[in-house]
Amino acid sequence: MKFTEDHEWLKIEGDLLVVGITEHASTQLGDVVFVELPQVGSDVEKGEEIVVIESVKAASDITAPVDGEIVEVNDAIVDNPSLVNEDPLGAAWFFKIKVEDTSVIDGFMDEGAYKDYAG
């Protein structure tokens, strides 16, 4: 698993990257009450805002960590946004993105570096 400076986690699954938010991000947000996910089949660019999360504290956006195509979204978190707080590193993944080369993940932080970063 790798991590971004935007508090997203990335996991390789075949030729896809599974993307979610970290426990740190989930805690900072507070109780999540709404999630809007990108459309399956949409092409996204790194840095593009593609997910909207609303919590009791704030609204936040998740950006695409890489260029690619959204091939699957997790409707379970749309139906039950509290999953983002309950299981941020597991059941509460947000989307799967098809990338040309999964080695793009190598440029992101490992768990130790992320823990130092999130402090």
64-102 burial, b at 16+ Cβ within 10 Å, e below that, comes to bbbebebeebbeebeeebebbbeebeeebbbbbbebeeb
Checking if the pLDDT of 51 tops 90, the result is: yes
Distance CA 100, CA 102 (A): 7
As a whole number of angstroms, the distance between CA 44 and CA 103 comes to 18
Query: What confidence score (pLDDT) does residue 86 get?
Result: 96
Alpha-carbon separation of residue 25 from 4, 10, 55, 58 (angstroms):
11, 14, 11, 12
Residue 42, helix vs strand vs coil: coil
Fold of 2-101: OB fold (Dihydrolipoamide Acetyltransferase, E2P) (2.40.50)
* Residues 6 or more apart in contact with residue 6 via CB below 8 angstroms: 62, 63, 65
Domain ranges of the chain: 2-101
Q: Is the pTM of this model over 0.85?
A: yes
Q: Is 58's pLDDT higher than 90?
A: no
Across the chain, mean pLDDT equals 95
